[in-house]
A = this chain, B = another copy of it.
Amino acid sequence: VTPMRIKVELGDRAYEVLIGPGLIAAAGRHIAAVLPARRIAVVTDENLAKIHLSGFVAALVEAGIEAVPVVVAPGEASKSFRTLEAVTDALIGAQLERGDAVVALGGGVVGDLAGFAAAITRRGMAYVQVPTSLLAQVDSSVGGKTGINTRHGKNLVGAFQQPALVLADTDVLDTLPKREFAAGYAEVVKYGLLGDAGFFDWLEANRDAIFAGGAARVEAVARSCRAKARIVAADEREAGERALLNLGHTFGHALEAAAGYDAARLVHGEAIAIGMVLAHDFSVARGLLAPADAEKARTHLSDAGLPVTISAIPGPRFEADELMRHIAQDKKVRRGSLTFILTRGIGQAFVAEDVPADAVHAFLSEKVNAP
């Protein structure tokens, strides 16, 4: 099967995203076509190593590339200075040179960590993203944001470092639990909601097929990557349009933080689903959006099995005051105003500056109790 190819147009840092089935089995050949590396460190986590590592290493060996596995603990806690140091030590200890490369074989955590380690080892090594979750395939593996968390918050230390290649093997999505697939799907829907009403319509017509797998799924991933690639090419360092990718993320991050990043209660994609619905409802409340459009977004996400209200999150109730504290930490409040991504219609998101913090607080006070 010939994979779909999407080019991320970034001048001398341009690269391709390959999307399709069977890409892990052919990884050595695809990597050798873009990189001269003779030796490659494969960074993955303990869980993914059991499923994918031996096949991936075999694919490298088949292309005459020596593989050096670097296995970290699964979970967000690996996005730390401690694990970063351990990974850079492993890369240097294996005597990888600047001309060699690093592969991130995993979801967002492995991608962010391994990409950052590649960015700083010997002041920059080539790296390849091989995302194994839907969320990573349509979001974090494209765009070059890498990093770790600190005690002050998530992703506060890192680098913009574009990969040399992204291999999104859609076969690996077959092994994902339904809840994780749905969470990734929230980010797929985001591309429709933020800037492409036609894509949203297509998702409405094809949701079941996408969840079932096959050609519709490949197309959903490809259209998402194409949307992100276009935005990143226009605004690599998030000076403008790239901020639209944060649709639903201000509310979503606050919910994740207030839920203590407890995956049993809420995973990232679920938080973004609720956050996007809140962003639409808030746009209605601000007189910007027709209520019917907010309803369309809510219905589509809900039908995909995603939570769409704050009260749907299991565990203790949320307080508007606490959510506002997290929002203030996430964003600088300038003279009582916040910057938000709001929307005027399906596919018509925009950056709204000077959103009164009071209005956000009043909106959330109502929403934390809404059924």
Task: Spell out A's residues near B (CB within 8 Å).
Answer: 81, 84-85, 88-89, 92-93, 97, 116, 119-124, 145, 147, 150-153, 156-160, 237, 332
Contacts and interface: CB of A to CB of B under 8 A. Distances in A.
A115 B116 CA distance: 17
B92 A160 contact: no
Nearest to A120: B157
Given A81-B81, A85-B81, A97-B332, A156 B124 contact: no
Tell which of A88, A119, A120, A150 has the most Cβ of chain B within 10 Å: A120
Contacts of A158: 120, 123
B332 A152 contact: no
A88 B123 CA distance: 18
A332 B38 CA distance: 14
B92 A150 contact: yes
A135 B173 CA distance: 55
B152 A123 contact: no
A123 B145 contact: yes
Contacts of A151: 89
B122 A156 contact: yes
A237 B12 CA distance: 13
A88 B153 CA distance: 12
Contacts of A97: 332
A151 B150 CA distance: 23
A71 B160 CA distance: 27
B159 A88 contact: no
B160 A147 contact: no
A11 to B, nearest CB: 11
